[in-house]
Structure 1
Amino acid sequence: MLLVAPFILIYIVFLIYPTLRVFQLSFTNSDLSGEGAYNGFQNYVKLFTEPTFWTALVNTLYFILLTAVPNTLLGLVLALLILRLKRLKNFVLAAFFLPYVLPVSVVTNIWGWVLDSNFGLLNLVTGSSITWFQDPVWALPAVAFVTIWWTVGFNILLFIAGLQSISPEIYEAASLDGASGGRLFWSITWPNLWPVTSLILLLQLIAQFKIFDQIYLLTQGGPFDKTLVMLLYSYREGFQQQHGGYASTIGVILMLVILAVSAIQFRLTRGSRA
């Protein structure tokens, strides 16, 4: 107990207490300082009747649809291709992983320039004039593309680790029985890789629910709230409007949604594995 006491203390101070504090604040009309009177479930009633909340929730779910599964599938495909390389395997892997270690400010600056509507490289090459981060249709997909480019290297690394953990003897035995190509993948690779795939899907799901940095730096939630997501909505209410209690309510609902969706995803993936 003496050895684990520092960890338990840090866990209580920096996770358990803030979580309980957010729950407590969600039942008050407090400002950003945390001072306010108890108002029961008024914040929750207001939240569920507020159109902006539903806009933020739908945008968040749409962003997850654009990123979680595509990012996982792309990571798997690239991992399979990298392992087939005879030379420069480590160089190619490092090239894909390099964006993941870049700060989000650097990533958004790079793509803010590449996708700039006036002098951006993409519009210059394609001859288009799309305002990628200001267009109501393309803004959220553009942020999703930037996010995939930024984070897919981590998925590749996990998939490569999973692929290399599969014993070559299994492939050799299957080859002796006449299996090859797609049969090897669906009968050996995919079943053995499913635990890693399930983990990556869960990590992607949680990470994309908490999307904030890219949205804040690239679009600020615009245009016309087309890229407004849950955390940015909470930030606006808490830090810009000084509605600390209402912002806490948004945080509580977001946490409950993440827990519910994660539980559903876990049950579905476990059922598929079985």
Structure 2
Amino acid sequence: MIAPFLIIYVVVFAYPVYKMFALSFTDAPLIGEGKWVGLANYAKLMTQKLFFTSVWNTGYFVVLTVIPNTLIGLGLALMVVRLKGWLQSLVLVFFFLPYILPVSVVTQIWKWVLDQQFGIGQNLIERFAGHHVSVFHDPTWAMPMVALVTVWWTNGFNLLLFIAGLRNIPQDYYEAAALDGATRLQAFRRITWPLIWPVTGLVLTLQLILQLKIFDQIYLLTQGGPFNSTYVLLQLVYREGFGLNHGGLASAIAVVLFAIIVVVSVLQYQLLRVRGAR
């Protein structure tokens, strides 16, 4: 009964992961076998400035997206859950619509919105900067703007998860709290927040894994520029593998990213579980 699953798992996941680890110890090109070089690829990474820049930029992007995306999703869910009937369904459609759009469409929309010459978003940027800014060509603005696009694009999924979690909280709890004279803030602190915490932990973990694998938005909006200020790990994998035909080195970078995702995800899960137990 489990044979179909095992076959698919081995072919689609286990073997490619094994191959990635194996290639990282060789000088193989993108296609074909290579000679065993041991830890040479990893040693080379330690001397490559662009690798450390990519690690830093990936971490910076995670900071800009994971927690804000989660908090915005929770805040929107708390407001939307108060709506009733067709109005709630209509609002949910509007918030979830960006999530079903292809990344190419999303990035093109925001290129128009933030265009330096005619983008409507430049009116708001001018209030902060004093002038129009080519945001995707400015080292200061580029990564925050990519993060903004990502939050706008992916927040609908978080919203649905939080809505589902809030609907599972019995209304009797709120009615009892109201009879005891609890305010909305007290009801949130004592009822909503503790009971929504498992969903919050799930959203944080999913967002962390997804944002560590950022590539599409960066590639389509900034190509890693300007001056490598948005260059991330998966783009470095793409450059070494598909651009320079260094399959072994690209595999080594992918292994490092794989290890970062596993370690950070496990640590976050443990911290969230301890926090939930309290």
Q: TM-score with structure 2 length normalisation?
A: 0.95
1:81 match: 79
- Match of 1:216, SS? helix
After superposition, the CA RMSD in angstroms is: 1.1
Cα shift at 1:119: 2.2
Deviations along 1:215-240, whole A, 9 cap, x unmatched? Answer: 00000000111000010011001000
Deviation of 1:49 after TM superposition, in Å, equals 2.0
Q: Which residue of 1 aligns with 2:92?
A: 93
CA distance in 2, matches of 1:216, 1:183: 45
Q: Which amino acid aligns with 2:95?
A: F
Deviations 1:114-144 (A, max 9, x none): 1111222212566531011110000000000
Q: Which moved more, 1:22-31 or 1:32-41?
A: 32-41
Which residue is equivalent to 1:188? Answer: 191
Which residue does 1:110 correspond to in 2? 109
What is the distance in 2 between the residues matched to 1:46 and 1:177?
A: 65
Using the TM superposition, give the Cα deviation of residue 175 of structure 1 relative to its aligned residue in structure 2, in angstroms.
Answer: 1.9
Alignment check: 8 A CA contact 1:26 1:248 kept: yes
Aligned to 1:235, what secondary structure does the other structure show?
Answer: helix
Distance in 2 (CA, whole Å) between partners of 1:205 and 1:125 is: 29
Selected match of 2:223 from 220, 225, 234: 220
Aligned mates of 2:117, 2:232 — CA distance in 1? 27
- How many Å separate the matches in 2 of 1:119 and 1:200? 36
> 1:25·1:34 contact (CA, 8 Å) conserved in 2?
no
Establish whether residue 27 from structure 1 lines up as the match of residue 25 from structure 2. yes
Which residue does 1:72 correspond to in 2? 70
- Cα distance per residue 1:169-199 (max 9 Å; x no partner): 1111222222221110010000000000000
- 2:111 maps to amino acid: G
| Distance across 2 between alignment mates of 1:24 and 1:125 | 50
SS of residue paired to 1:121: coil
Unaligned runs of 5+ in 2: none
Count of residue pairs the alignment pairs up: 272
2:25–2:36 CA contact under 8 A, matched in 1: yes
Structure 2 contact 142–229 (Cα < 8 Å) conserved: yes
Structure 1: 5+ residue stretches without partners: none
Correspondent of 2:261 among 249, 258, 261: 258
Amino acid at match of 2:76: L
What's the offset of the Cα at 1:161?
Answer: 0.3
- TM-score, normalised to structure 1, is 0.97
Supply the distance in 2 between the matched residues of 1:11 and 1:263 (Cα, whole angstroms): 22
Distance in 2 of aligned mates of 1:126 and 1:237? 36
Equivalent residue for 1:168, pick from 131, 148, 171: 171
Partner in structure 1 of residue 204 of structure 2: 201
